[in-house]
Structure 1
Amino acid sequence: MFYPLDNADDSGMYTCNVEVTAPNSYIYLRNTSANASISITVIATPEPLVEIVSMGIAEPGKEYMLNCTVTIVDRLIVSPVITWSKRSANNVISVPPDLMTVSNVMSSLYLNFSSLNTSDAGLYTCEASINVSQMSMVARNNEFWNLLLKITIPFVYLHVSQSRESNLLAGSNLILTCDISVDPNVDTPFTVNVTWNMTDQQIMSNSNFGGEINSSSILADTDRVNISSVMMRSGFNEYRSTLNFTTLSSIEDSGTYTCIVTIVPASAYEYVMTSDTNYTNIHFIVTGKL
Structure 2
Amino acid sequence: MGWLAAGDGYEVALIDGRVAARSTSGRAAGRQLKSLPKALRDHPEVDRLRRLEEWLARHAAACVAQVDTWMVSSLPVPTGLLARVWPDEAWQAALRHLVVVGDDPDEVGFLRDAIAPGELRMVNLDGETVRLSPETVTLPHPVLLPDLDDLREFAAELGLTQKVEQIHRATWRKPAEVSGSEVTEFAGGRYASRFGLAARATQLGYRVSGGYATCRVRDDGRIAEAAVWIGEPYWEEEVRTGNLTWHDQEGRTLRPAEVGPVAWSEGMRMAAALHAGRQVEEGS
Shorter-chain TM range is under 0.3
The structure with the largest helix share of the pair is 2
Kindly name which structure, 1 or 2, has the bigger radius of gyration based on alpha carbons.
1
Output the TM-score relative to the length of structure 1: 0.23
Output the TM-score relative to the length of structure 2: 0.24
The structure with the largest strand share of the pair is 1
